[in-house]
Amino acid sequence: MATIEVRAAEDANRKQRRRNLSPGRIAAWVVLFAFLLLSLFPFYWMIRTAFSTTRSLPSDPTSLLPVDFTWGAFQRVLGLGTQAQAIAEGGSGASVNFWLYLRNSVIYATAVTVGQVFFCSLAAYAFARLRWPGRNAVFGLFLGALLVPPIFTSLPNFILIKNLGLLNSLPGMILPSFLMAPFAIFFLRQFFLGINREIEEAASIDGAGPWRVFFRIILPMSTAPITTLAILTFIGTWNDYFWPLLVGNTDATKVLTVALGVFRSQTPAGSPDWAGLMAATLVTALPVLILFFAFARKIIDSIGYSGSK
């Protein structure tokens, strides 16, 4: 009932607003749409270029449609076309090991996400619910790690990974973020604190230990924030560049972002293979874009509101 009234009030409000379509309001909409266009248009241009033929691009640089439409750029990136065809369309003809880089990116992002989210949810539970001396002090220390800039720890971590003999290996890339990330613990602890205690206490009275409570009650009740965190972690890791560049810069261990940098420098001097480059960026961005379209509301709502639910 109350919600209906609120709805009605909102509708009335909206109608009134629509009536007051003052010049200022129109100008505000125009500005908002200008920024919307600025945000989205480059993506369109990326797609338009990826379906063009590199050699034909200069002939019509402003065409809104692909110039000389072809799937060739994607074939070059995915290693499906022939070398002769690639060169004919303006590619370098060098082979790009796309599937290998894709595999590396998938392994890197998935492993970090799974490990980090799982181990951080364990720790977050201990910080939110278990009673032990020094709990808040340790939590404060963990949060302190947020203040250390990644570049600062990256250099010594590189040495550590090197000493462990894990340089240029996927485990070496994964390990530093596999067990812990201060933000993940903070995020999940916030949520666990908000869960009604009575449910757990009822379970404890029934003789369930902390493990049972955690796996049978807390985790199932937290699928929403855990999914959000997992998506954010996956996207962040997928987009990582600096760390994989340091410890995974061999052909066998390159992830897509690192490989993209190479894709650009590999193209013959003079005119770069723009269509190939845009196809490569598009394919690299695709998994993240799909995740976003599947979980858009979760991701959007998590920004700024995280943990306060």
Partner 1 sequence: MSANTIDKPAAVRRRPRSESSQTGGRSELKIALVFIAPALVGFLAFFVYPTIRGFYFSLTQYNLLGTPKFIGLDNFVKIGKDPLFWNAMGVTIEYVLLNIGFQTVIALLLASLMQRLTQSTLLRGALLLPWLISNVIAAMLWFWLLDYQIGLANVAMEWLGLPKVAFFANEFWAIPTMAFVNVWRHMGYTALLIYAGMQTIPKYVYEAASIDGSSEWNSFWRMTMPLLRPVLAMILVITVTGSFQIFDTVAVTTRGGPVNVTRVMQYYIYQKAFGEGQFGYGSALSVVLFAILAVLAAVQLRLLRAGESDLA
Residues 283-302 that bind partner 1 (CB under 8 A): 284-285, 288-289, 292, 296-297, 299-300, 302
122 near partner 1 (CB under 8 A) = yes
Restricting to residues 185-204, which ones interact with partner 1 according to CB under 8 A?
185-187, 189-190, 193-194, 197
Restricting to residues 23-82, which ones interact with partner 1 according to CB under 8 A?
24-25, 28-29, 31-32, 35-36, 38-40, 42-43, 45-46, 49, 57-58, 61-62
For partner 1, the closer of residues 146 and 202 by Cβ is 146
CB contact set of 121 (below 8 Å; sequence gap of 6+): 188, 219, 222, 226
Restricting to residues 248-287, which ones interact with partner 1 according to CB under 8 A?
257, 260-261, 264, 271, 274, 277-278, 281, 284-285
179 near partner 1 (CB under 8 A) = yes
For partner 1, the closer of residues 11 and 82 by Cβ is 11
Residue 86 C-beta: closest distance to partner 1, Å: 19
For partner 1, the closer of residues 81 and 127 by Cβ is 127
Measured CA to CA, the distance from residue 224 to residue 14 in angstroms comes to 31
List the helix and strand counts (H, then E) for the chain.
16, 0
For partner 1, the closer of residues 79 and 144 by Cβ is 144
Q: Give the Å distances, CA to CA, from 35 to 19, 44, 309.
A: 25, 15, 30
90 near partner 1 (CB under 8 A) = no
Buried b / exposed e across 151-185, counting CB within 10 Å, b at 16+?
eeeeeebbeebeeeebbbbbebbbbbbbeebbbbb
CB contact set of 240 (below 8 Å; sequence gap of 6+): 108, 255, 257
For partner 1, the closer of residues 26 and 83 by Cβ is 26
Buried b / exposed e across 38-62, counting CB within 10 Å, b at 16+?
eeeeeeeeeebbbbbbbbbbeeeee
Query: For partner 1, which residue of 85, 88, 171, 210 counts as binding (CB under 8 A)?
Result: 210
Residue 133 C-beta: closest distance to partner 1, Å: 6
Measured CA to CA, the distance from residue 77 to residue 280 in angstroms comes to 6
**Cα 221 to chain centroid, rounded:** 24
Residue 193 C-beta: closest distance to partner 1, Å: 5
